[in-house]
Chains A and B, each alone.
Chain A
Amino acid sequence: MEILSTVLPFIFSLIIIAPFSGNYIYKVLDGQKHFMLPIFGKPEKGIYKLASVNPSQSMDWKSYCSALLMFNFLGFVILFILLLTQQWLPLNPQHVSNMSWHTAFNTSISFVTNTNWQSYAGETGLSYLSQMAGLSVQNFVSAATGIAVFTALVRGITGQTVKSIGNFWVDLTRSVLYILLPLSIIWAVLLAGEGVVQNIHPYVEATTLEGANQIIPQGPAASQIAIKQLGTNGGGFFNTNSAHPMENPTPFSNFLELFAILLIPVSLTFTYGKMVKSSKQGWTIFTAMFILFSAGLVISLYSEYQSPEIWENISYMEGKETRNGIAASVLWSEATTAASSGSVNAMHDSLSPLSGMVAMINIMIGEVIFGGVGAGMYGMIIFVILTVFIAGLMVGRTPEFLGKKIETFEIKMCMLAVLAPAIVILIFSAIACCIPAGLSGLNNAGPHGLSEILYAFSSAAGNNGSAFAGLNVNTIFYNVLTAAGMLTGRFGIIIPVLAIAGNMGQKKITPVSQGTFRTDSWLFVALLITIILIVGGLTFFPALSLGPVAEYFLLQNGTLF
């Protein structure tokens, strides 16, 4: 009962709202008329004017890509400097000192790549200015970057012999002004109404009922948590993220934040349908994602509610909050890892072995089960192209996707995008397992220790940002290596994706014939899921069987470490 009453309303409300919001996002990205234009239309034009951008000028893939990379690189530089100098800057009532170079390096890479991995503890390591003008801003623009890449890719796929794939500055600005900012304002106000703090006061000193001292943290949290959830960023205002009662105080705030994780990623499947002028294509991708999502959720719930003998049927509340309970914590862990958010409302390190594994698999298969804002869709389209290609090989026809021939160049780029994160996850984990700097961070022994390391690099490469947080990652070794993983996982996909967009845009569209392999059928859904699981499964199964799978069986036996 508890499970159904938690899961069903959540899923139903998403499925009802997403087609509408997906349609709205389509209008925004396509430059059509919509109801937000009267409000933000003038600021949009103002931004172009001040930045001397010509919004009607379209870019080929190389200039689109270099604009994106330059914008992200300079965003990193500014954030890095801000974190290194926060002590001397205003809005720092707690006199937080400057970040060490490696933590600042890791944090700024992490926020620019939409990973939002937390090597720092927000309440002790960041000034209000760093949270607001540093992290929050990247929360917005990294999500907008994801939407821009997705839009450019679809433009390339649908374009008829064109070189240009849109204007990066326009896509970025529109995503921020018309999608992310309005939603964040609504969410921030609702969250503040639930009790999430929102002020710029110093922390308050309290004398507890038993006479001890307790510091009550403060800060501009609601405004940041809104975009952190909506932009699938996930970097918490506080150390324990949305498990913290000031970041997520009530059942309603929990619902709002959970809903926000999946809202835009789910909507984008419908946006995609609109953009390719076939809502069936959108529904096909939605269905494939939804089936994978549900399967993961069922396994996680099963695993979390069954109790092996050694735990004497006690329900697992380690790392979970009373107000969230088990069902809502597991639902969150599934949503946040499927959608590349990485925010948590319970500690994943203490999840039962199989739910921890599902979380890891969601990340490892490339964050394509709804995935990050924009990133999930372009990751999924990579898998769609691979599936079309493999299906084409099976029947011996030239593979076509939406009327465009899939050729060597596309497949090379797809493989690059699939392999880049996989290499990071497996090789970096192997390095960490071999040297003292990697092993000294462990919090758990036995197979769960391997899971901690594996999860860390999966999370970095998948740009997720959640963690098996027992692992102490605030060391030079982990800060630098996970930052390298995040960069590879982000731009190792974005660059090939934009290359595909540019290349496909120049091709002719062949009309649909009887021999065309349909990409909007149940058969295709099944094939797509199979390809995703085979690619994910074959690559990671050996590592997973030494970690969570071994842990599961040992736990059934009553083995402890």
Chain B
Amino acid sequence: MKTQIFISLKILGMMILLLGIIYPLFITGIAQVFFHDKSNGSLLKKNGIVIGSALIGQQFDNKAYFTSRPSASGYNTLPSGASNLSLTSKKLHEQVIQRKKEFIAVNKLPSDQIIPSEMLFASGSGLDPHISPQAALLQVERIAEARDFSNGQKQKLKIIIENNTEKPLWNWLGETKINVLLLNLQLDEIK
């Protein structure tokens, strides 16, 4: 019994040193050298100020920006969170109807327009940075109007949507999507 306590403690001590200290610091070293930006949160900077992370979505209320998905945590990262509502939840059903109405109204779309479902349902992390290209295209007219864009500028807007569209990896892995924050950053660049 006594020997087992000592062996357990010694092995635990060595495991904590090896797996809890050496291993994570070793990986940190490799990551910091080879993937410096990525391992530090893929931060985005504008004029030297951190404006967010390319991985983390942001809330956009201004009509002149593309809107992100609904978020149960309001794009708060501390902590991340989802609605966890079920499909038999009245609350969820009302939310979806309400979001659909709002999306159609604010973008002046026909009332029978099909809205991509990611704009109607909240994400799992509350921080989803992506929407589908269709959801972005449906917002073009509204943004052009809010920004007083000429036809030429509107064309440019459609081009940046196309350029920002991320296809599935090797055409099979993942979804076709677009990063809202990166898109909005380029939107601000349209002159």
Q: A216 touching B53 by the CB < 8 A rule? A: yes
- CB contact under 8 A between A245 and B127, given known A47-B11, A353-B87: yes
Q: Tell yes or no: A32 within 8 A of B by CB.
A: no
Q: B60 touching A210 by the CB < 8 A rule? A: yes
Residues of B within 8 A of A561 (CB): 88-90
How far, in angstroms, from A470 to B79 measured CA to CA in the complex? 14
- CB contact under 8 A between A255 and B173, given known A133-B20, A239-B80, A347-B84: yes
How far, in angstroms, from A141 to B53 measured CA to CA in the complex? 34
User: How many positions in chain A have a CB within 8 Å of any CB in the partner chain?
Assistant: 119
How far, in angstroms, from A315 to B119 measured CA to CA in the complex? 11
Task: Return the contact of A314 from the options B18, B120, B173 (Cβ within 8 A).
Answer: B120
Residues of B within 8 A of A140 (CB): 15, 19
How far, in angstroms, from A318 to B84 measured CA to CA in the complex? 8
Residues of A within 8 A of B96 (CB): 314
A193: nearest residue on chain B (CB-CB)? B35
Contact residues, B125-182 vs A (CB, 8 A): 125-132, 168-169, 172-175, 177, 181
Q: B88 touching A353 by the CB < 8 A rule? A: yes
- Which 10 A-B pairs rank lowest in CB-CB distance, beginning with the nearest? A251-B174, A470-B84, A133-B20, A243-B124, A121-B79, A192-B31, A349-B84, A322-B130, A317-B121, A198-B31
* Size category, B interface: 35 or more
How far, in angstroms, from A194 to B173 measured CA to CA in the complex? 14
A-B contact pairs, 9 of them (CB 8 A): A5-B172, A121-B79, A169-B7, A196-B38, A223-B23, A240-B126, A249-B55, A321-B125, A560-B88
Scoring B15, B84, B96, B130 by chain A CB atoms within 10 A of each residue's CB, the highest score goes to B84
Residues of B within 8 A of A353 (CB): 86-88
- CB contact under 8 A between A320 and B40, given known A52-B7, A70-B8, A214-B75: no
- CB contact under 8 A between A322 and B50, given known A243-B123, A245-B57, A314-B120: no
A443: nearest residue on chain B (CB-CB)? B84
* Stretch of A156-164, A444-452, A501-509 with 4 or more beta carbons under 8 angstroms from chain B: A444-452
Q: Tell yes or no: B39 within 8 A of A by CB.
A: yes
Residues of B within 8 A of A346 (CB): 124
Residues of B within 8 A of A184 (CB): 23
List the interface of chain B (C-beta within 8 A of A): 1, 3-12, 14-16, 18-21, 23-24, 26-28, 30-32, 34-35, 38-43, 49-62, 65, 69, 75-90, 92-93, 96, 117-118, 120-132, 168-169, 172-175, 177, 181, 184-185, 188
Residues of A within 8 A of B168 (CB): 251
Q: B85 touching A192 by the CB < 8 A rule? A: no
Task: Return the contact of A189 from the options B1, B12, B27 (Cβ within 8 A).
Answer: B27
A505 CB → nearest B CB, Å: 21
Q: A198 touching B39 by the CB < 8 A rule? A: yes
Task: Return the contact of B28 from the options A124, A134, A220, A554 (Cβ within 8 A).
Answer: A220
Q: Tell yes or no: A287 within 8 A of B by CB.
A: no
Residues of A within 8 A of B55 (CB): 195, 245-246, 249
Residues of B within 8 A of A181 (CB): 18-19, 23
Residues of A within 8 A of B173 (CB): 5-6, 9, 251-252, 254-255
Residues of B within 8 A of A240 (CB): 79-82, 124-127
Contact residues, A310-332 vs B (CB, 8 A): 310-311, 314-325, 328
Q: Can you list, as one digit per residue, whether each of A156-192 has a CB less than 8 Å from chain B (1) or not (0)?
A: 0000000000000100110010000100110011001
Residues of A within 8 A of B117 (CB): 314-317
Q: Tell yes or no: A559 within 8 A of B by CB.
A: yes
Residues of B within 8 A of A200 (CB): 28
Residues of B within 8 A of A121 (CB): 79-81
Task: Return the contact of A67 from the options B7, B65, B125, B175 (Cβ within 8 A).
Answer: B7
- CB contact under 8 A between A210 and B128, given known A347-B84, A469-B84: no
Residues of B within 8 A of A198 (CB): 27-28, 31-32, 35, 39
How far, in angstroms, from A559 to B122 measured CA to CA in the complex? 21
Residues of A within 8 A of B172 (CB): 5, 9
- CB contact under 8 A between A67 and B4, given known A209-B65, A217-B78: yes
Q: A51 touching B7 by the CB < 8 A rule? A: yes
Q: B51 touching A208 by the CB < 8 A rule? A: yes
Q: B5 touching A70 by the CB < 8 A rule? A: yes
Q: A444 touching B89 by the CB < 8 A rule? A: yes
Q: B93 touching A310 by the CB < 8 A rule? A: yes
How far, in angstroms, from A349 to B20 measured CA to CA in the complex? 32
Q: Tell yes or no: A429 within 8 A of B by CB.
A: no
Q: B40 touching A245 by the CB < 8 A rule? A: no
Residues of B within 8 A of A207 (CB): 49-51
Residues of A within 8 A of B121 (CB): 314, 316-320
A249: nearest residue on chain B (CB-CB)? B55
